[in-house]
Amino acid sequence: MPPLFIAFEGGEGSGKSTQVERLQAALQRLGQPVFATHEPGATSVGKAIRALLLETDEPITPRSEALLFAADRAHHVETEIRPQLAAGQHVLCDRYVDSSIAYQGAGRALSVAEVARLSRWATEGLVPDLTVLLDIPADQGLARVGNRAWQVGPDRLEREQLTFHERVRAGFLALAGQHPERYLILDATRPVEDLAAEIAAAVQARLAAQPESEGRP
């Protein structure tokens, strides 16, 4: 049975990382091979790009920001995601193409079509089988970020104004509305365990419905 590529998307404080961990554990309990990763910064090259993007106070122009995220993603897909899928591993990714479209397209007011085209080129057209969108009002998500005791401080994107994050949320919801067949939209204000159970059930249903063989671009 071919492996699944599952992306987790959502605004700041939506709980993506937590749900990636929960789904990874659920699949492992079922004996499924699974690899969890994230963007940006999953590779050694990506870590350097992440530092440029998020761990600086220097202003970055919107187009430069979009290109840096695309560079991280291109390297990530070629060196991590595709090889893991080819090895038969399910891949769970905390952020993927939709984050660029929502943050740099809707958030930065760049052309959504151009950002999407850049992302398709960077990934050679690799699209997730399922995208889990954890939707949360921007103000509630940012409040969660502020309450993270382990975090040194908000990164460059987290420091953006509320209106920016509201545009990002609207961008995610618009994408999900355009491609409802590959999205699972969940209210991220619900209890963590309830969300985890619903995600696991949706993924198990996808596994059960998969054909015996399936090609990837």
What pLDDT is stored for residue 153 in this prediction?
67
Give yes or no for residue 99 having a pLDDT over 90.
Answer: yes
pLDDT band at 151 (very low <50, low <70, confident <90, very high): low
List pLDDT tens digits, range 173-190. Answer: 999 999 999 999 999 999
pLDDT digits (tens, 9 = 90+) for 107-133: 999 999 999 999 999 999 999 999 999
3-state secondary structure at position 55: coil
Average pLDDT score over the chain: 93
pTM score, whole prediction: 0.93
Q: 128: burial class by Cβ within 10 Å (0-12, 13-18, 19+)?
A: buried
Q: 5-209: CATH homologous superfamily?
A: P-loop containing nucleotide triphosphate hydrolases (3.40.50.300)
Which residue ranges make up each domain of the chain?
5-209
| Token pair 């509305």: residue | 177
